[in-house]
Amino acid sequence: MDRVLLLCVILLLVRCYNMAILVDATIPNIATDESALLALKFGISHPNPDHNILASNWSTNTSVCNWIGVTCGSRHHRVIALNLSYMGLEGAIPQSLSNMSSLERIGLAFNGFSGYIPSSLFNISTLQAIDLGVNKLSGPMPSILFNMPSLQWINLYSNELSGRLPTDTFNHLPNLKRLQLSRNRFYDGLPSTLFSCKQLQDLSVWTNHFTGRVPPAIGNLTMLKKLYLAENNFAGAIPNEIGHLQNLEDLNIGVNHFSGPIPFEVFNISTLQVIRGVKKNR
């Protein structure tokens, strides 16, 4: 009887051990991050191969956390930040980056990345800031991008993105503080959901093809410090509700089709330092 009991205990322990190995193999870890970054490394290039720092620095002979542009968290030893800005890199952003499930900040600005923004990138629930400015990215805005409550900063400045912003775009971005969409090819009106982002401090959409009126709901964005609407096709009167933006410091409305005077309320904003483009409308 004792032998039977002992055998049962041994079999149970073996089964538990195997299950533990299986579970551990499916939980993302630093090896997952390494694989994702290596996929990025092998999918990109540099006009001058001798200047491709990643080719030599990103080596499996050293810890991922020591790779250039990579920051790991001290608590869980996962990659939490990736900053490869100003490196002259070219190629597509791989889907594999979405496997880096602890990533909080990603900076790929001032490179030559092209193609679509992979929608899977925005499955990372921890992502707080994404900076893809000054690249050659094209196509529409991934709709899943705007279902990320943790996001605080979105910079897509100076790319080749196009299309309408979906009407429900900003429903789930309560912590968004900076939205930079300037110098792209977006068109149609600004979604009404944008004006529910009460924490927004920087709204820059200049040099696109946006049309229509700026709605009175813009007055809901009372934390705004910077509002750049210039070089679009906005029309109609400038809403009086801009005067509700009592933290506004910099306003640019030039090269549009606004009509009528600037509302008197705007000049009562004590923090306002600069008004640009007043005479460059109808």
- Please tell me the predicted confidence (pLDDT) of residue 221: 98
The pTM for the full model equals: 0.88
Edge-to-edge strands, sheet with 178-180 = 70-72, 79-83, 105-107, 129-131, 153-155, 178-180, 202-204, 226-228, 250-252, 274-276
Q: List the CATH code of the domain at 144-151+163-282.
A: 3.80.10.10
Q: For the residues 203-209, what does the mean pLDDT come to?
A: 98
Which residue spans of the chain are classified as CATH 3.80.10.10? Answer: 23-139, 144-151+163-282
Per DSSP, which regions of the chain are E strands? 44-45, 70-72, 79-83, 90-92, 105-107, 112-115, 129-131, 136-139, 153-155, 160-163, 178-180, 185-188, 202-204, 209-212, 226-228, 233-237, 250-252, 257-259, 274-276
Average pLDDT over the chain reads 90
Higher per-residue confidence, 87 vs 145:
87
Q: For the residues 237-252, what does the mean pLDDT come to?
A: 97
Q: In whole angstroms, give the CA distance from residue 178 to residue 180.
A: 6
Write out pLDDT tens, residues 126-167: 999 999 999 999 999 887 666 788 999 999 999 999 999 988
Query: Would you mind telling me the total number of residues written for the chain in this entry?
Result: 282
Is the CB of residue 191 less than 8 Å from the CB of residue 218? Answer: no
| Alpha-carbon torsion angle 261, 245, 180, 231, nearest 10 | 0
Look at 1-10, 31-40, 253-262 and tell me which has the smallest mean pLDDT.
1-10
- Please tell me the predicted confidence (pLDDT) of residue 19: 44
- Please tell me the predicted confidence (pLDDT) of residue 25: 42
Q: In whole angstroms, give the CA distance from residue 41 to residue 55.
A: 7
What's the token pair of residue 16?
């538990």
3-state secondary structure 136-182: EEEECCCHHHHCCCCCCEEECCCCEEEECCCCCCCCCCCCCCEEECC
Query: By three-state DSSP, how is residue 30 classified?
Result: helix
Q: List the CATH code of the domain at 23-139.
A: 3.80.10.10
CA-based R_g, the chain, Å: 24
